[in-house]
Amino acid sequence: MNIDTFLALVHTYCTQAGLPPAALENEHCVLLPQPGQAVILAWDAEEEEVLVLAPVGSEPVALDGESAAELLRDAYLGQNLAGAAAGIDPQTGGLVLWRRLPAYGLTADRLARSIQRTIVAAQACQGN
């Protein structure tokens, strides 16, 4: 897969999901598959992987010791985050759930399932 194939995959996903065409900026696209929930799809050419990122909320996260420990327990092997990993965006300070998808054999249907699982996990984190 290359950047053009990545764009074609994202376009197919957007068409199937009834979303407007995605605009590529610096090898990533920002989509709104659900109201109030952005998803970023990024192309990692070096690893030939698609990254799915779902910000949790829109504000920097303030974690006390117990909240941080709970997040780390949930993130352990993605067990309570539907297989996603968690991190703090160094630019915004916001919590982000993310997953890497090997590009080889990736279909729009598999991408859609991964996006949906990441969104559900991000929304569950907002409730905490």
The domains found in the chain, sorted by start residue, are: 3-126 (3.30.1460.10)
Full-model pTM: 0.86
List the pLDDT tens digit at each of the 128 positions of the chain: 888 999 999 999 999 999 998 888 888 999 988 777 889 999 999 999 999 999 987 777 777 778 778 878 777 777 778 888 988 888 888 889 999 999 999 999 999 999 999 999 888 887 65
User: 6, exposed or middle or buried, with CB in 10 Å at 0-12, 13-18, 19+?
Assistant: buried
CA angle, residues 3, 10, 46, in degrees to nearest 5: 30
